[in-house]
Amino acid sequence: MEQLNNLNSINDFNEAKQVIVGGVNSPVRAFKSVGGTPPFIREGRGAYLVDEDGNRYIDFVQSWGPLIFGHCDKEIEESVIQTLQKGLSFGAPTTLETALAKAVISMYEGIDKIRFVSSGTEATMSAIRLARAYTGREDIIKFEGCYHGHSDSLLVQAGSGLATFGNPSSPGVPKDFSKHTLVARYNDIQSVKDCIQKSTGVGAIIIEPIAGNMGLVPAKKEFLAELRELCTKHNIVLILDEVMSGFRASSSGSYGIYGIKGDLVTFGKVIGGGMPVGAFGGSEEIMNLLSPNGAVYQAGTLSGNPVAMSAGLASLYKIKQNPKLYEKLERLALKLTEGLKKICEEFKIPLQTCVRGSMFGFFFNENEVKNFEDALKSDTKMFARFHQGMLNKGVYFACSQFETGFICDCMDEAMIDSVLERACEVLREISTYGE
């Protein structure tokens, strides 16, 4: 396959490895699952990234989701600049926090109050603490393949059976931390019932209703409805992790697709407009357990940072002003995934695709992917070759088979057509020359 000139990125990566662990500040960025050297990005404009070698890429990562309006959106950028000219951070209340809280609550069903944090990990960690306090029970259930940040109690994997307590999936996580976390199979309600039966008391079930961290794998509507019923029956707090899907899948996240409410919901990505932001919200009854109203402690020096709040406000305002936004983004996502599937059929390459609003995913897999076990059967070597080939042709897809892609408002049909032409060239070369 043709190769980009990436000498500067190679040098930058080698230099970074001398002072940053692995040369990156988040593991997937190291490109270990797809090979090659990660491009070191110099700037982004609209739908494009430009690396330190001057290579230009159509960007389907969009900072892993938050840039629904692309890089350097004029209105969001102006809002951020106006705010930062007044100060970067105060560690004190601002009206911007209230304004963004009102905006999120007005657009998302079932939330009375909200608390801002600085990351998705903080949001899910805090929501679980709150749920445990509310129910008085220590066990939680998560789903294999769902990622909720890197807090200790959530870094677990399934044991020998589905209804088993999780084992730490990272060194440094004490078994005592993870012993209260049970792991169920995504889209399998019986596995959830087995976990509940095995536990002495489940306080919370946390789920990505539209999973984006095993590739894009949405929950089946009937499964999510049954999960809601189970939680209501057993007085378990249902936490919907919408850090990725909130305001990405629709203007009201998964609720706009399924119509199913969580007791607590976690947010991130889009509500920060590209700045580091997380949040969790729910009913007034549960949320009022938080300090200073209640005894559940949660705090953060940079929580509600004014610059981040202004970026989020500008982003949500633009969403509200464009009622046909998600229709357009979904149309482009379908054009891309259906085009890829058609090309793969031509070359007899198995491919499964999925779209939810502006989110899309594809697996080099013979069968539909309904859970993490299905996802693991995908051809990761094929994905790596495809990823490398597309990168060399100026298309930047997520650097793992088990991640999600994103469409931004700066993209159009001509751009998608161009991507499909390049994909056809890459897949033809792969099918012709094989390994």
Same domain (yes/no): 132, 181 = yes
Residue 1 within any structural domain of the chain: no
Q: Check whether residue 289 and residue 340 sit in a common domain.
A: no
Chosen domain end from 260, 292, 321: 321
Task: Tell me the CB-side half-sphere exposure of residue 49, using CA atoms within 13 A.
Answer: 22
Q: Please state whether the predicted TM-score (pTM) of the whole model is above 0.85.
A: yes
Dist CA 11 CA 413 (whole Å): 36
Indicate the residue among 321, 343, 367 that finishes a domain.
321
Query: Which pLDDT score, from 0 to 100, does residue 159 have?
Result: 30
Task: Say yes or no to pLDDT of 116 above 50.
Answer: yes
**Average pLDDT, rounded, for the chain:** 93
* 229: DSSP letter: H
Same domain, 260 and 353: no
The verdict on 112 and 139 lying in the same domain is yes
Assess whether pLDDT exceeds 90 at residue 414. yes
One domain, residues 143 and 260: yes
pLDDT score at 228: 98
pLDDT digits (tens, 9 = 90+) for 181-217: 899 999 999 999 999 999 999 999 999 999 999 999 9
d(CA 201, CA 135): 9
Q: What is the mean pLDDT of residues 266-272?
A: 93
* CATH code for the domain in which residue 314 is found: 3.40.640.10
pLDDT at 170 (0 to 100): 62
Q: State the pLDDT at residue 153.
A: 66
Question: Annotated active-site positions, please?
Answer: 147, 241, 269
Nearest by Cα to 386 from 353, 359, 424, 417: 424
| Residues 287 and 275 placed together within one structural domain of the fold | yes
Does residue 370 form part of some domain? yes
Q: Say whether both 302 and 337 belong to one domain.
A: no
Number of domains in the chain: 2
**Domain hosting residue 13, numbered range:** 6-60+323-433
* 267-285 mean pLDDT: 94
Residue 164 has pLDDT above 50, yes or no: no
Q: Which of 287, 321, 355 is the last residue of a domain?
A: 321
Residue 104 predicted with pLDDT over 60: yes
- CA angle (173, 177, 182) in 5-degree steps: 110
In this structure, the answer to whether residues 356 and 290 fall within a common structural domain is no
pLDDT digits (tens, 9 = 90+) for 73-85: 999 999 999 999 9
Q: How far apart are CA 141 and CA 127, in angstroms?
A: 13
Is the predicted pLDDT of residue 151 greater than 90, yes or no?
Answer: no
Please, which pLDDT band fits residue 178 given cuts at 50, 70 and 90?
confident
DSSP for 32-99, please give it: TTT-SPPPPEEEEEBTEEEETT--EEEESSGGGTT-TT-BT-HHHHHHHHHHHTT-S--SS--HHHHH
pLDDT at residue 337 in the model = 98
Mean pLDDT of 386-413: 97
Q: At residue 147, does pLDDT exceed 50?
A: yes
